[in-house]
Structure 1
Amino acid sequence: MDKKKSKLNFKNKITNFSEIKKRIFFLIFSLIIFRLGSFIPIPGVDTGSLSKILKDQHGSMIEMFNVFSGGSLNRASIFSLGIMPYISSSIIIQLLTFIYPSWKELQKEGESGRIKINQYTKFLTVFISFLQAIGISLSVPNLPGMKSLIFHIDFYFYIIAVVSLVTGTIFLIWIGDLITEYGLGNGISVIIFSGIISNLPSAIINTLEELRIKNLSLINFLIIIILIFSIIYLVVFIERSQRKIIINYSNRRHNGYFNSFKNSSYLPLKINMSGVIPAIFASSVVLFPITLISWFKENILDKNSWCNFIFLNLQPGQPIYIFIYTFLIIFFCFFYTNLAFNSRETSDNLKKSGAFIQGVRPGENTSNYIKKIMFKLTFINTIYIVFICLLPEFMRKMINVPFYFGGTSLLIVVVVIIDLISQLQTLLLSKQYKLSFKRANLNLKK
């Protein structure tokens, strides 16, 4: 009997870890597909000459866009649009759910409402990616020095380019959904993460080369390393930090006896309730006017053009860029936290479960109390995200960092790694619970 039990436990452990392995292998396989797709060029484009031209865009918004697409823009890949159209459509849909009550009700419908909102987001993504693909395919031949990159410009080239770019974006969203369902972490965030990480080897090599030829001093190199590790430590510390509100439970009688439940617990409120969403959304909104202006590049050639003014001042490191970027981060921090956490619903749930906060009356007073705490936490969160996102911009100006070192990129990388580890730990814990239940049933049968 003991041998049978040990064999059963061994089989359960194998099935337990095999499921986690399947998720990990599926995640790796999906990322390999994404990386392979980023090397498939749009038919009719000279990718070698394009990469040489884009190397001169160091420190510009184009370099930032190239990093988010995992270098796909540099290679004129079918994934050049990346998932930026999806992010733009997510912003629009979430704004609509905040403005229109009928859309807001969809969020309260649970899973069915979430599926509908997700469908609307994808439909809008196709529309936005279609517009951006048309704009890029029409504007690239008109850019200075870009006409020679296209082997033959005709109607068929525009059709093929638009279809390739739109299909690439749709495929990335599909892969992202599969990663979310069958892999680990949020698929869209993981794709952005892998795109950023893919540029890490070349960035290290370029930095070491700059250090070797003494374009970068040893002191500045050490400062960069120390700051990067300090920022990573700060991100991990804040992401793990919580404000715990002590919750008390009133004693309940059942058949004349008190229930033997704990009389108190706590309500955990994360400092960064919005995650990396504000940084991603802010970057996407800043990129949008640059994308529009690139459609009319001929106007930018005029030095007195307002397009030229916007194009030059919305580059990383410029004062106007920093001001708009900061404002957008603050706006999306408060906006998304308000969407993700409803103090009124939390207060009602506490009241229904017989829970209360010491010294605060249940209902409206509890809701206002939680709302005040969330406002303070969100205010701290905005300072934290603005600091993380803008510090690298100042570093690039003062230390002349020889690679794209964006706070948004670093924040996404660290947060996605934390989420992957947390989800992996949750899966392992849930499997352990299932195993213990199976063992308990086995003992009962015995």
Structure 2
Amino acid sequence: MFQTLKNAWHIADLRKKILYTLMILVLFRLGTAVPVPFLDAQVLQQMLQNPANAGNLLGYLDILSGGAFARATIFALSITPYITSSIVIQLLTVAIPALERMAKEGEDGRRKINKITRYVTVALALLQAWAYYTLLRNQSGAVMYRSGFAGIFSAIVIIAAFMGGAMLIVYLGERIDEHGIGNGISMILFAGIVSRGPAAIQKLWIYLQMGSEQPMYYFTVPLIVVLFLALIVVIIIMTNAERRIPVQYAKKVVGRKMYGGQSTFIPIKVNMSGVLPIIFASSLLAIPGTIKAFVAPNGTGFWANFLGAFNYNTPLYAVLYFILILAFNYFYVAIQYNPIEMSNNLRNNSGTIPGIRPGRPTSDFIARIISKITLVGGIFLALVAVLPIGIGGITKMNIALGGTSIIIVVGVALDTFRQLESQMMMRHYKGFLE
């Protein structure tokens, strides 16, 4: 990995792209320190440090924003509106024929879909900004002015700052796509999550210092570090793992030349859906905690106990989290992969799977393979996501060791270095004529 980065640095063009990407990421981190007017950051930090808010959308948003939400800065919404918009448009592409046709029109169609995604992002950013302002307004002392003309003006400023910050992040991500290295939105998300690393290390150091009072920390802190490193290794292995379905193409003569006859394979990745099932599941399970924060039910009433059962550190949350990740993994893979279409493409190109007849038997065989791999990938994602909950419940330690964060960081790092390697290969390729 470091050798790849060193070799890329020696190429002037790639060096400019790396520096440009770093400059954008620095601007993003500077933006996470620009405060939104009329908000008290101390009240927000106290609210997010409350264990009751650990599993709601606010805590999840603070993780994705790299702590920008807790500091009440203009990048508090992070890229969540764009992520939600992209997921919604991707799902609608399967359900709406017009969008499906647009997606198959090549580069022009993708440009139109990207424009629609931006419009939806603006609407979602406005909606989320208003919702979070409403929630903060209900917190005593979070919003400085809540009535009269000053209250209206402060509401407009806060909502506009949240919304403008979200759209500025999308703009910075697009600049990385055009002039930098890697996927822009993913790189910004990567930078936000990695920025929380020093805080996690500081927490571990504090727990280690508490070992004189509670000796168990002398054992649990090193154990968490070892599990963290082992988890990174497992995620790298599972991210690169794939099931290769062999394909044999028939020979055919066109004029005086013979084409085909080669053997290849269809690669099916074990983790086909990436981190999206975890994002879907965590967002869905965060709704009860967010409702509880909005309505603030009576602490001894039925609704308080019902909504409290969905707290992040409860066994019910872990079980539902595991099941929902499996379900969303199957759902997303079913949308992305169509065995019948894959079988038809093979038959149209004179390709067959050895030992499997073309047509219905081929599609059934591919469907069985995808179903088994989806189960393995879903269990992997669910275990990675639930493991931090189990560790926190056993050790009673609150460490920012989210499985989602680790998968995102490792996945973005691998994709970025793959892109660097491919660009270096293109620049060193001499071609057929030399």
TM-score by length of 2: 0.88
Deviations 1:358-399 (A, max 9, x none): 122223332222222111111111111001111111111111
Partner of 1:317: 313
Please give the alpha-carbon distance, in whole angstroms, between the structure 2 residues aligned to 1:324 and 1:170.
Answer: 33
Pair 57,35 (structure 1): closer, same or farther in 2 beyond 3 Å: farther
Shift of 1:256: 5.6
Q: Look up the match of 2:38.
A: 44
Distance 1:114 1:310 in 2: 44
Q: How has the CA–CA distance of structure 1 residues 248 and 225 changed in structure 2, closer, same or farther, with 3 Å as cutoff?
A: same
Alignment size in residue pairs: 419
Aligned to 2:203: 206
How many angstroms apart in 2 are the aligned matches of 1:14 and 1:424? Answer: 7
Q: Which amino acid aligns with 1:404?
A: A
SS at match of 2:33: coil
Counterpart of 1:60 in structure 2 is 54
Equivalent residue, structure 2, for 1:10: none
Distance (Å, rounded) in 1 between the aligned partners of 2:306 and 2:155: 27
Structure 1 residue 224: Cα displacement: 0.6
Say if 1:322 and 1:390, in contact at 8 Å, map to a contact too. yes
Contact persistence 1:24–1:183 (CA under 8 A): yes
Q: CA deviation at 1:67?
A: 1.4
Identity over aligned residues, as a percent?
Answer: 32
Aligned-pair RMSD on alpha carbons? 2.6
- Given that residues 346 and 367 in structure 1 are in contact (C-alpha distance below 8 angstroms), is that contact kept between their aligned partners in structure 2? yes
Amino acid at match of 1:44: F
Q: State the partner residue of 1:248.
A: 248
Cα separation, 2, equivalents of 1:258 and 1:103 = 39
Where does residue 85 of structure 1 map in the other structure?
Answer: 81
Deviation at 1:330, TM superposition (A): 2.0
What is the one-letter code of the residue matched to 1:38?
T
- Match of residue 219 from structure 1: 219
Taking the aligned partners of 1:14 and 1:274, their CA distance within structure 2 comes to: 29
C-alpha distance in 2, partners of 1:293/1:381? 33
Which one of 142, 152, 163 corresponds to residue 145 of structure 2? 152
Q: Secondary structure at the match of 1:245?
A: strand
From 92, 103, 109, give the equivalent of 2:105: 109
Structure 1, residues 177-227: CA drift from partner, whole Å, max 9, x if none?
222332222222222221111010111012112201225611111211121
Matching residue's letter, 2:238:
I
Q: What is the distance in 1 between the residues matched to 2:397 and 2:54?
A: 13
Listed as ranges, the matches of 1:107-186 within 5 Å are 107-143=103-139, 146-147=140-141, 149-153=142-146, 154-186=151-183
Query: Does structure 1 conserve the Cα–Cα contact (< 8 Å) formed by 2:250 and 2:261?
Result: no
1:349 aligns with 2:345: yes
Q: What SS does the corresponding residue of 2:428 show, helix, strand or coil?
A: helix
SS at match of 2:244: strand
For residues 397-424 of structure 1, what are the alpha-carbon distances to aligned partners after superposition, in whole Å with 9 as ceiling and x for unaligned? 1112342211111111111111111111
Match of 1:18 among 9, 12, 22: 12
Please tell me whether the aligned partners of residues 37 and 79 of structure 1 are also in contact (alpha carbons under 8 angstroms). Answer: yes
Unaligned runs of 5+ residues in structure 2 are: 1-6
Q: 2:23 aligns with which of 22, 29, 32?
A: 29
Query: Using the alignment, how far apart are the partners of 2:117 and 2:270 within structure 1?
Result: 28
User: 1: distance between equivalents of 2:163 and 2:300?
Assistant: 33
C-alpha contact 1:244 1:267 (8 A) present in aligned 2: yes
- TM-score normalised by structure 1 residue count: 0.86
Tell me the SS of whatever aligns to 1:80: coil
Cα distance, 1:313–1:84 mapped onto 2, change above 3 Å: farther
* Partner residue of 1:404 out of 389, 400, 403: 400
Output the CA distance in 1 between the equivalents of 2:373 and 2:235. Answer: 15
Query: Is the Cα contact below 8 Å between 1:81 and 1:169 reproduced in 2?
Result: yes
